[in-house]
């Protein structure tokens, strides 16, 4: 299974937290195209995370629809990787 998760900084606060949204596409239904092959229709869903700049602890503030933890855990790993380098990018992603 392939993953592509976009992370976008929402805002930073002076109380040592940085807030991010994480977004990915989920398949909502499968339809046959003219050649008879199944194609997935998808929609973009998003959730919210926050990272503590001092401890590196990441909290899921709002889970994205359809996320049982597979997506948020990968988004968290992406943020922790940047945190270890002292980075808080405006945009980043997780791809695997």
Query: So what's the pLDDT on residue 14?
Result: 74
Tell me the two tokens of residue 14.
């002076």
Does the pLDDT of residue 76 top 80, yes or no? yes
Whole-angstrom distance, CA of residue 23 vs CA of residue 45: 6
In whole angstroms, how large is the CA radius of gyration of the chain?
16
Q: How far is CA 1 from CA 4, 58, 64, 66, in A?
A: 10, 24, 18, 15
pLDDT at 1 over 80: no
pLDDT digits (tens, 9 = 90+) for 12-58: 877 899 999 999 988 778 888 889 898 888 888 999 999 999 999 99
Specify the pTM.
0.83
Residue 60 CB neighbour total at 10 angstroms: 17
- Strand segments, DSSP code E, in the chain are 4-12, 17-32, 38-52, 58-62, 91-95
Give me the residue spans of the domains in the chain: 4-95
């Amino acid at each position: 299974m392939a993953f592509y998760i976009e992370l976008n900084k929402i805002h930073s606060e002076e109380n040592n937290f940085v807030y991010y949204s994480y977004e990915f596409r989920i398949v909502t239904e499968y339809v046959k195209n003219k050649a008879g092959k199944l194609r997935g229709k998808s929609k973009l869903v998003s959730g919210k995370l926050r990272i503590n700049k001092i401890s590196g602890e990441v909290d899921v503030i709002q889970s994205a629809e359809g996320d049982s933890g597979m997506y948020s855990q990968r988004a968290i790993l992406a943020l922790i990787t940047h945190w270890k380098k002292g980075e808080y990018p405006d945009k980043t992603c997780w791809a695997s």
